[in-house]
Amino acid sequence: MSAPVLIARTGAVGRIRLNRPKALHALTPDMCAAMLTALADWEAQDPPALVLLDHAEGRGFCAGGDIVQASRDAALARAFFHVEYRLNHLLFTYEAPTLAVLDGVVMGGGVGIGLPCRWRIATERTLFAMPETGIGLFTDVGGGWYLSRLPGRLGEYLALTGARLNGAECHALGLATHYVPSAALPALTEALLARPEAAEALLDEAARDPGPAPILDRRAAIDRLFGGPDLESILAALAAEPGEWAAGLVAQLRGKAPLSAKACLRLVREARTRTDFAAEMEVEYRLATRMSALPDFAEGVRALLVDRDNAPLWRPVTPEAVTPAMLDALFAPLPPDEGWTALPGRAGTAPTDR
């Protein structure tokens, strides 16, 4: 049986390939730990000229975390989030150049390992989303940081709705640094393995015009409709907006976990003021620790991934029933011996290109 993540050094390139094609390369705690160990060892012993992160086969880069088991065991969930967030932070602060090939499905945990990389390739097969409000969680793995730095109110829109972006849209919003047709990836990979020191020039040479980004056509409406002070006002603005698009968004948002939606909205808005990625991960771990132990998480996973009836019963049922005190309790600091910590000795300040 092949390993779920293939890790190797090819000359001066550190190669990490996700290898669970039947699960769209969803991450497990062991996969995160293996990547974390390899990256830390390379950096300490023999820094690579380039770290290349992609998937071995199949149609997804990474569909997220493999969370079904975690939804049944709060202690397991906490351990999973802790090692996963350490990996996210290590990639964000990694000294060697990193490149993620975001070819195919990029959701949840895939965002967490792809977006910290210095270079990020989108293709015509890229499908990006942070759909956590549909499973009783929130936009974690650094999602608060990345979404909050998108222009206007796009962060609120993507966090609340879980809307999907294609490769051209990811490139237009800066989530991807380059757009490369998937057919060109094998040749580009061979060139990168042979000349990792020329990675940026090779990427620029392989990049193509992705074409129009439909999300930009909605930008003005998104900014206007998702700028309200709370979830209730956003829903009211959408309900008052004529047209099928806004009506569809109301229906979508009414189906999300109200507590998750309000936590996402607060996270994205507070993250705009943070300047330290480690601080972001610390706050997100508070949320992950607490929300993974609430009934909504188990119910969301049941409804969407286990029974697949798409009929979750959320608690609280409505946005109005989610009080400020409930959110304050989620965001409150954990006891010192229970909080998230980065790997020893790692800084948390954002690189200039993030």
Of 59-63, 122-126, 267-271, the range with the lowest mean pLDDT is 59-63
Distances (CA, A) of 121 to 23, 186, 313: 22, 13, 38
Q: Is the pLDDT of residue 350 over 70?
A: no
Q: Is the pLDDT of residue 351 over 90?
A: no
Q: Which residues pair with 54 in a beta bridge?
A: 17
| Alpha-helix residue ranges (DSSP H) falling in 219-294 | 219-225, 231-240, 244-254, 258-271, 277-291
Report helix, strand or coil for 14. Answer: strand
- Find where tokens 């000229």 sit: 49
Average pLDDT over residues 266-280: 97
Please choose, from the candidates 44, 50, 40, 37, the residue with its C-alpha nearest in 3D space to the C-alpha of residue 9: 50
Q: Is the pLDDT of residue 140 over 50?
A: yes
Active-site residue numbers?
65, 109, 132, 140
Q: Which residues pair with 128 in a beta bridge?
A: 106, 165
Report helix, strand or coil for 82. Answer: helix
Average pLDDT over residues 243-272: 98
Average pLDDT, the chain: 95
Name residue 160's amino acid.
Answer: L
- Assess contact for 275 and 351: CB atoms under 8 A: no
Going by pLDDT thresholds of 50, 70 and 90, the confidence category of residue 349 is: low
CA distance 65 to 137: 12
CATH number for 5-331: choose from 3.90.226.10, 3.20.20.80, 3.40.50.720, 3.30.479.20: 3.90.226.10
What residue ranges do the domains of the chain occupy? Answer: 5-331
Parallel, antiparallel or unpaired: strands 119-122 and 178-179? parallel
Q: What pTM was computed for the model?
A: 0.96
Reported as a single tens digit per residue, the pLDDT across 156-183 is 999 999 999 999 999 999 999 999 999 9
Please choose, from the candidates 194, 187, 265, 174, the residue with its C-alpha nearest in 3D space to the C-alpha of residue 227: 265
